[in-house]
Amino acid sequence: MTTLTKEAGAPVPSDAGAFLSVRDLHVSFRTEDGMVRAVDGLSFDLERGKTLGIVGESGSGKSVTNLTILGLHNPKFTTVEGEILLEGRELTTAREHELEKLRGNKVAMIFQDPLTALSPYYTVGRQIAEPFMKHTGASKKAAWDRAVEMLGKVGIPNPKERAKDYPHQFSGGMRQRAMIAMALVCDPDLLIADEPTTALDVTVQAQILDLLKDLQQEFGSAIIFITHDLGVIADMADDIMVMYAGGAIERGTTNEVLRSPQHPYTWGLLNSMPRLDSDLAAPLAPIPGAPPSLLNPPSGCRFHPRCTFQDRVGGTRCTDERPLLAPDRASACHLTAEQKRTIFIEEIKPSLG
């Protein structure tokens, strides 16, 4: 129990800088069709105990970013450039055995599909106990007890008995709870949750999201929460980063990004998503076109082929020059700050209802 209750929200030395810091990350894969530039110049920071939500459509590079943080990419076909600093330690050049010490210990991950992420061959209890034994050197007995304790913590009824079950004997929601237990067993400082509730039903999703939020308060982990669902991110994240075609295009606090978004893509996302209280008479306003192929991404601003605000910028800036994302609250778009504000207030906001 002692390891469980870490001094929640313990003051972090502010001079240490961000807990996780990604600087100008480029990840590309060699495929038969050519180089896929999955992540292209991404930078962000994450503080201890905070939740960063990454939203984006499929192929925007959000999952690749996080697999790279954990070093789970295949080095044979992947080129990684840039820096990933975890507490000042460089991860992109770290050796495999160093990363092994991190994974499941300091940094843990929750995957989208718990049935494929759990091994069908071992009991749930053993799978949870294993990283604990490996990282803390605890005995088999102690690790098993810890696994049972964690299962109870995440709300598996009768954890003593259920720990002896195999994953297929668990329901979808319970498997995801077991995954959370496994991720939290070593009390990680950073938890990466990659679409953890996408495969679940809404009522179960609501339970899991609330559980994650409450566990975070207790464990004090930082979370990177990846999803394509803006509703989920609104519920979970402190800060939001919107990704499109391998790069971040907007960032800010949850409130800023959702209440006064500044990028045409974010406007498009908000506009194309029906809500429970949206105006029924108005048709949805989809983003025209389809996400670009990363084999051959568009020149200049990646979003320009689908953007309806290009003419407001004028000239050929959108097609020639890639807009940069400034640190803190910012959006990568050539529109001026004034334009962004007035377009959102006058044209976008009314249609959101």
Give the DSSP per-residue string, 239-287: EEEEEETTEEEEEEEHHHHHHS--SHHHHHHHHHS--TTS-SSSPP-PP
Round to whole Å and give the CA distance between 151 and 154.
5
Question: Measuring CA to CA, how many Å separate 161 from each of 95, 156, 179, 236?
Answer: 39, 10, 17, 32
Between 45 and 250, whose beta carbon lies closer to another protein? 250
Round to whole Å and give the CA distance between 310 and 319.
9
Q: Which of residues 236-275 bind another protein (CB under 8 A)?
A: 255, 258-259, 268-275
| Inter-helix orientation angle 172-184/124-136, to 10° | 10
Q: Which of residues 284-313 bind another protein (CB under 8 A)?
A: 284-291
Between 151 and 335, whose beta carbon lies closer to another protein? 151
Q: Site for another protein (CB under 8 A): which residue of 203, 311, 338, 346?
A: 203
Q: Binders of another protein: how many residues, by CB under 8 A?
A: 60
112 binds another protein per the rule CB under 8 A: no
Binding-site string for another protein from residue 4 to residue 43, where x marks contact by CB under 8 A and - marks none: ----------------------------------------
Q: How far is the CB of 59 from another protein (least distance, A)?
A: 9
Between 82 and 155, whose beta carbon lies closer to another protein? 155
Q: Site for another protein (CB under 8 A): which residue of 13, 97, 121, 202?
A: 202
Round to whole Å and give the CA distance between 349 and 182.
42
343 binds another protein per the rule CB under 8 A: no
CA 251 to chain centre: 13
Binding-site string for another protein from residue 204 to residue 233, where x marks contact by CB under 8 A and - marks none: xxxx-xxx-xxx-xx---------xxxxx-
Residue 75, C-beta contacts closer than 8 angstroms, at least 6 positions apart: none
Q: Where do contacts with another protein occur on this chain (CB under 8 A)? A: 57-58, 152-157, 171-174, 177, 201-207, 209-211, 213-215, 217-218, 228-232, 234-235, 255, 258-259, 268-278, 280, 283-291, 352
